[in-house]
Amino acid sequence: MTRPSAFRLLSRATAGAALLALVLTGCSAKNAGTSASASNSSSHDQGRVAFMMPDLITPRWDAQDRLVFQDEAKKACGDCKVTYYNAKGDADTQLSQVQAAIANGVDVIVLAPTDKTAAVNMVNLANAAGVKVISYATNIDNPKVDYIVTTDVPKIGAQQAQSLVDGLKAKGITSGKLIQINGDPSDDFGFRYKAGAHSVLDKSGFTIAAEYDTQKWDGTNAQREMDQAITKVGKDGFVGVYAANDDLAGGVIAALKNAGIDPKTRLVTGQDGSKAGLQRVIAGEQYNTINLPIKIFAAKTADLAVALAKGKAAPSDVINGTAKTPSGAEVKAYIYPTEVIKIDNIKHMIEPDGFWKLSDICTGTYQAACSAAGLM
């Protein structure tokens, strides 16, 4: 999400211990220390939730999703305990975190997996222990998942690509070569964004001159790939770049600048509505991003998680459909909408509608551009 594009802000994430426990309220030492065997036999309605994010490379997980989830969980359940884990991009670390959460007597695991294949076993472990699992911002390929919080992932790739094509045509460019910088294929979202983008680009009249799958959604890797693409096709050999999220877009734009190419002359897509991404949109260096309404879906996920953790039914205002796992199993789901953000509707990302404060985005060097965009 993800991923969107994934929608990856504030970037105050620390590289501390792999296991970071953030206690909201009302946790007893007895509950926190429950053993794995006790967890298997005890009632899973004690209000204990594990919120597990995949990495620190994508800033949104730590700076947006975590904060919104914690705040809403505290409002919804004052005596619940939420423990936050970040795997820092390592599937083995995330497996250890899942095992630790189960051993500590958790009732519900909210899991955004680092690796889509490894996550299947994590769900099996939780299910065997009687722990409910919410697949967060992805579709874990296991029918034992209790609920899914997701969006139409291929649609996001298609939205990005269609916006790119439309933007080029609006500039009078109806054909030419594109560079495609996809996300990490080991992430469930990576190859699905890619498929969505291709569903548009392959019939757009434009051709893909160079394409890369970017490990770990890392902007540094994207910059290196874009360097290679520029060497391959030449500075004037492409008209735009599909980048699967804002971090990748940042790497692409850094490569353009290093090659002496003004980013304003090439349309570059993004996703996640990150601080840096929005600032680049305002400055005219990045063409678009995708608004993942984290304020909404992270809060609704918290409402769902604490209800399940207290032994209650899923809130009726949360579950609004079903989602299919990659293998075709249907799971009850909350499906959230997405929106393409460009300079003309960037206000949707600013409070009160969006996550960001105006003062977060319109800092020193961006104040003039913010004024020109009607934000100040």
CATH number of the structural domain 29-151+293-335 = 3.40.50.2300
CB 132 within 8 A of CB 44: yes
pLDDT at position 290 is: 96
Cis peptide leading into 352, omega within 30 of 0?
Answer: yes
> What ranges make up the beta strands (E) of 87-205?
108-111, 132-136, 147-150, 176-182
CA dihedral 281, 285, 290, 295 (to 10 degrees): -40
| pLDDT value of position 163 | 98
The pTM of the full predicted model, rounded to 2 decimals, is 0.76
CB atoms within 10 A of CB 136: 27
Highest CATH level, class, for 153-291+342-372:
alpha beta
Instruction: For residues 112 and 94, give the distance between their C-alpha atoms in angstroms, rounded to a whole number.
Output: 10
What confidence score (pLDDT) does residue 168 get? Answer: 98
Q: DSSP E strands: which ranges in 185-258? A: 206-213, 240-243
Q: Provide φ and ψ at 241, rounded to 5°.
A: -135, 125
Q: Could you report the average pLDDT of every consecutive run of 10 residues in the chain (376 residues)?
A: 40 37 36 39 82 91 94 96 96 98 97 94 98 94 96 93 98 98 88 96 98 96 98 98 98 98 98 95 98 90 97 94 91 94 95 88 95 92
Report DSSP state, residue 219.
H
Q: Where are the domains of the chain?
A: 29-151+293-335, 153-291+342-372
CB atoms within 10 A of CB 127: 16
d(CA 228, CA 274): 25
When computed from its CA atoms, the radius of gyration of the chain, rounded to whole angstroms, is: 21
Q: Please tell me the predicted confidence (pLDDT) of residue 42.
A: 55
